[in-house]
Structure 1
Amino acid sequence: MFVITADQRRSTEHGDRVEQILAAIRDWSDAHRSDIVLDVERTVGDEVQLVLASAGSAVDLGLMLMRAREWSVGIGTGEVDLPLGDSARASSGEAFVHARRAVERAKGKGEPAPIVVSGPDARGAEAATALTQLLASVVRRRSDAGWEVADLLDGERTQKDIAQALGISEQAVSQRIASAMIDEERRARPVAAMLLERASGGIRP
């Protein structure tokens, strides 16, 4: 199992954004319903939590939260106590302990990006953290122009289609893809998911 715990950064300065992120995660969940074990909820204060069955979905959601630039994210993996409760808040187990440990570390100033993985395989967790933080840095630094292209580049639209939709040249689309490191980020996501699986003890090197 994979437990995502996210805590809002500087909420006293920016106001409570929990309802806003809950709505965004629920929209995301509609496309990942088969991977949702326990739906997202506010747990305490300005913190939200949910439980997922897939490492790939955990990476995807973690990076979505990084895009918002307002959240510290902990991804905990490992066993959970069965049967699970009716909600994440009512559940417990190793994965929840690791998620708490991860989000507390993610809040620290020493991390290059506020997302951390923790799991029973410590070396796997450190490797997963390193790559996920690298991807998070790419996502957090992407410009609005880069996101315009990234959001349209869904595997169905061609660069020509995107150019027409945005009213720019195909060359400009290609330049945005390169400068936003869209291809590099997307190709590395499955590797991050594999490392997250390793952190859970599910894959051995």
Structure 2
Amino acid sequence: MIVLTADQRGSTRHGDRVPEVLDLLHARTAGRAGLVLPFDRTVGDEVQGLLDGSPDGATLALDTALALLRDGRWTVGLGVGAVDEPLPAASRAASGPAFVHARHAVERAKGRGSAAPVAVEADDAAAAAEVEALLRLLGAVAARRTPAGWEAIDTLTAAGTDGSVKAVSQKDTQKDTQKDTSQKDVARALGVTEQAVSQRLRAALWAEEAAVRPVVARLLTALAGAGRAGRPAGGAGA
């Protein structure tokens, strides 16, 4: 299982953002495969959700972590491992090694002054460090994007995330045709030229992110699978 814990940064200065971020998270995760327990407030200005260790769950965890990092007001911790069963109705009442790992991860991420305050922890520390390194890299790349770059990406993904990512990242004739069509639609929506859209996407390193995301999701899935294989009979409480 994968536990995602996020703690608000600078809450004493900016007020409680938990209700706002919970609305965002519920909208992004509602109806998506991989969600086990929806995001909820745990204590103070912290939110937490539980996802399964399937490819869908790993992809959802990745998407959610990057969305929180983009917001810029959250420190993110991912904990991978077993959970105590039966599961309660709310994430805040759940326990187990994955929750302990998530707690340690978010606390460790708080100590970083980087553009991507995120950490990943699991029993397999080396594998978790690999996922963390790539996740931090994606977060750092996104943090350096201009508003124009995000405008192009958001317009492109709103038209269909899967197709748009493939269209930008593949080189064969069919994908080139999809790319031309997608960028033409974005250009029309933004009132700019196709060349301008292409330049924005290149500067934003969107194709590079699109290529790395599946790698991170696959490594996170494998990490969760290793946790299931080594799951103890009774897990430790969080």
Q: Structures share a fold, TM > 0.5?
A: yes
Residue 41 of structure 1 corresponds to 40
1:131 aligns with 2:134: yes
Residue 171 of structure 2 corresponds to none
Alpha-carbon distance between aligned partners in 2 of 1:166 and 1:202, rounded to the nearest angstrom = 45
- Contact conserved, 2:68 with 2:74, CA < 8 A, in 1? yes
1 or 2, which has the higher helix percentage? 2
More moved, 189-198 vs 57-66: 189-198
Alignment of 1:1-205 (within 5 A): 1-32=1-32, 34-53=33-52, 54-109=57-112, 111=114, 113-154=116-157, 155=163, 158-202=182-226
Alpha-carbon distance between aligned partners in 2 of 1:122 and 1:198, rounded to the nearest angstrom = 13
- Contact conserved, 1:121 with 1:198, CA < 8 A, in 2? no
- Contact conserved, 1:143 with 1:180, CA < 8 A, in 2? yes
- Contact conserved, 2:34 with 2:58, CA < 8 A, in 1? no
Q: Residue 99 of structure 1: CA displacement? A: 0.4
Which stretches of structure 1, 4 residues or longer, exceed 6 Å deviation after superposition?
none
**What SS does the corresponding residue of 1:153 show, helix, strand or coil?**
helix
Q: 1:180 to 1:31 in 2, by over 3 A?
A: farther
Structure 1: runs of 5 or more not aligned = none
- Contact conserved, 2:119 with 2:132, CA < 8 A, in 1? yes
More moved, 21-30 vs 192-201: 192-201
Residue 178 of structure 2 corresponds to none
Alpha-carbon distance between aligned partners in 2 of 1:69 and 1:199, rounded to the nearest angstrom = 27
Q: Residue 112 of structure 1: CA displacement? A: 5.5
Encode CA deviations 1:60-114: one digit per residue, 9 max, x unaligned: 1100101100000001111001111111111101110100010001101365520
Q: Residue 172 of structure 1: CA displacement? A: 0.3
Alpha-carbon distance between aligned partners in 1 of 2:129 and 2:225, rounded to the nearest angstrom = 13
- Contact conserved, 1:81 with 1:91, CA < 8 A, in 2? yes
- Contact conserved, 1:5 with 1:49, CA < 8 A, in 2? yes
Alpha-carbon distance between aligned partners in 2 of 1:202 and 1:194, rounded to the nearest angstrom = 12
Q: Residue 198 of structure 1: CA displacement? A: 3.4
Structure 2: runs of 5 or more not aligned = 158-162, 165-180, 230-238
Alpha-carbon distance between aligned partners in 2 of 1:189 and 1:61, rounded to the nearest angstrom = 12
Q: Residue 55 of structure 1: CA displacement? A: 1.1
Alpha-carbon distance between aligned partners in 1 of 2:219 and 2:202, rounded to the nearest angstrom = 25
